[in-house]
Amino acid sequence: MRYSWPMLDQTNPLGPAASTVRHVGRHNRRVILHALRVHGNLSRAELARFTGLTPQAVANIVDTLMTAGLVREAGRRKAQRGQPPIAIEIANDGGYAVGVLIDATSFHAVAAGIGGELIEMREGPVPDAIEADWLDFVAGIHTEFGVRFGADRCLGIGLVTPGPFDIDWPGVPTPGAIPQLQVRGIADQLAARTGTEVLLENDAYAAALGEKLYGQATEFSDFFYIYVGEGVGGGIVIRGEPYRGTRGNAGEFGHLIVDPNGPQCYCGNRGCLGEYLSLRSMRDFLRDAEAAGEDRDRAMDRWVARASDALSVGIAGIENLFDPEIVVIGGAAPVPLLERLAGELGELRASVRQDVGRQRLRVSALGERSAALGASALPILAAINV
Ligand SMILES: [Zn+2]
């Protein structure tokens, strides 16, 4: 089986800009780690064959990853003839990373190994948003995992929460978000408190990363992740890498305007997609319908039809902008609800991706785990960004 993470074009006629060189290096290290995760252990020659990288490049990357303690030599294999090859494997005892997803109602925390294997998962309600000391709360999770798995083996904390960051909307705070965490500075404060690296991203970005590494999108290099939760967010993956935007706020899909005369959104505009597709919009819709004496199942049918229609508009917009291989829908919403929304879409609206016979939308099977797992991948990826 040839490993399917596509190679970047390394023959740029304009000459490699420094950032491109760094990007290629990072990408290739990730490719090697991913190949080891998929295949268990591989010799350097097999790594070259599976990834398409040159033997020299593989040797250099393996050296770098071994120095960082992320991979190790697993011993020699038996060979028919000649020198038996040395197998390389992920150093599962090389450390773990903490991933924490927090929104206004609940938290999910995972400890995951370098290969992405889930070591421990915790979830529960969050403390009162007004009174909580969030630094204490996240530091407590870090300490608890540290006691069990060794604080000195922790590679860092990936903290994810609804975005956007460092933005003041004119209206009420983002639904589902905790304003104190929507500030980039919180990561530095938490790093100082815990003595470990802290990376802060929005939940949809992390979910897209989790889906790319462990979920429905491992074979795709260009895709869009729609995050349905209290609000609606989005994660963009281009050439295998999540795209952050200038301030880490790219992909705010929930504020795509689907009807300029639609309901008022807290961002100041009207008819944003989040007003149709979010869990909050569903609850409000059902509450109003119930107050008007409508049967709940009937009201739910009407909400799903309206939400699917708005989603179809959104998907056409994504496809026309990015021409992705696939759109994945997931997030905090229950998977059966997402499947129902996807099922109601029927024939999608026309776009540049209307090629017949190819799937355009896929439902995430990881659910909320995609964001927490993506969060735990942030420090691991930072460790290989050497
Ligand atoms: Zn809006």
DSSP 316-335: HHHHHHH--SEEEEESSS-H
> What percentage of the chain carries pLDDT values higher than 90?
55
Of residues 209 and 30, more confidence is placed in 209
Pair 214, 169: CB distance under 8 Å? no
Q: How far is the CA of 171 from the centre of ligand 1 (A)?
A: 10
What pLDDT digit, counting tens, does each position of 317-351 carry? 999 999 999 999 999 999 999 999 999 987 788 88
Q: How far is the CA of 84 from the centre of ligand 1 (A)?
A: 61
Domains, the chain, ranges and CATH? 18-90 (1.10.10.10), 96-207+370-384 (3.30.420.40), 218-367 (3.30.420.40)
Q: How far is the CA of 331 from the centre of ligand 1 (A)?
A: 18
CA distance linking residue 34 with residue 261, whole number of Å? 46
Q: How far is the CA of 341 from the centre of ligand 1 (A)?
A: 21
Q: How far is the CA of 322 from the centre of ligand 1 (A)?
A: 21
Q: How far is the CA of 254 from the centre of ligand 1 (A)?
A: 7
Task: Decide: helix, strand or coil at residue 160.
Answer: strand
| Whole-number average pLDDT of the chain | 86
Q: How far is the CA of 205 from the centre of ligand 1 (A)?
A: 18
pLDDT of the residue at 1: 38
> What percentage of the chain carries pLDDT values higher than 70?
91
Q: How far is the CA of 45 from the centre of ligand 1 (A)?
A: 52
What average pLDDT score do residues 159-171 get? 82
pLDDT higher than threshold 80 for residue 169: no
pLDDT of the residue at 28: 83
- Name the residue type at position 210: G
- DSSP structural state of residue 36: H
Q: How far is the CA of 271 from the centre of ligand 1 (A)?
A: 7
Alpha carbon 334 to chain centroid, angstroms = 17
Q: Where are the beta strands (DSSP E) in 175-222?
A: 198-202
pLDDT higher than threshold 60 for residue 76: yes
User: Roughly how many angstroms between the first and final C-alpha of the chain, as a whole number?
Assistant: 29
Exposed/middle/buried for 325, CB within 10 Å: 0-12, 13-18, 19+? middle
Q: How far is the CA of 235 from the centre of ligand 1 (A)?
A: 17
Pair 128, 178: CB distance under 8 Å? no
pLDDT of the residue at 355: 67
**Beta strands 96-102 and 106-113: pairing type?**
antiparallel
What average pLDDT score do residues 223-236 get? 94
Q: How far is the CA of 202 from the centre of ligand 1 (A)?
A: 17
The confidence band for 266, taking pLDDT boundaries of 50, 70 and 90, is confident
CA distance linking residue 331 with residue 228, whole number of Å? 5
Q: How far is the CA of 224 from the centre of ligand 1 (A)?
A: 19
User: 22-29 long-range CB contacts below 8 Å, 24 or more apart?
Assistant: 23/241, 26/381, 26/384, 26/385, 27/239, 27/240, 27/241, 28/53, 28/57, 28/61, 29/61, 29/64, 29/65, 29/384
The closest alpha carbon to 361, from 323, 326, 333, belongs to 326
- DSSP structural state of residue 371: H
Instruction: Categorise residue 329: left if φ over 0, alpha if ψ from -120 to 50, beta otherwise.
Output: beta
- DSSP structural state of residue 226: E
0.85 exceeded by pTM: no
The confidence band for 13, taking pLDDT boundaries of 50, 70 and 90, is very low
Element (H, E) at 144: helix 134-149
CB atoms within 10 A of CB 256: 20
HSE-up of 246 (CA within 13 Å, CB side)? 2
The closest alpha carbon to 89, from 155, 35, 50, 28, belongs to 35
Q: How far is the CA of 274 from the centre of ligand 1 (A)?
A: 7
pLDDT of the residue at 234: 94
What pLDDT digit, counting tens, does each position of 54-63 carry? 999 999 999 9
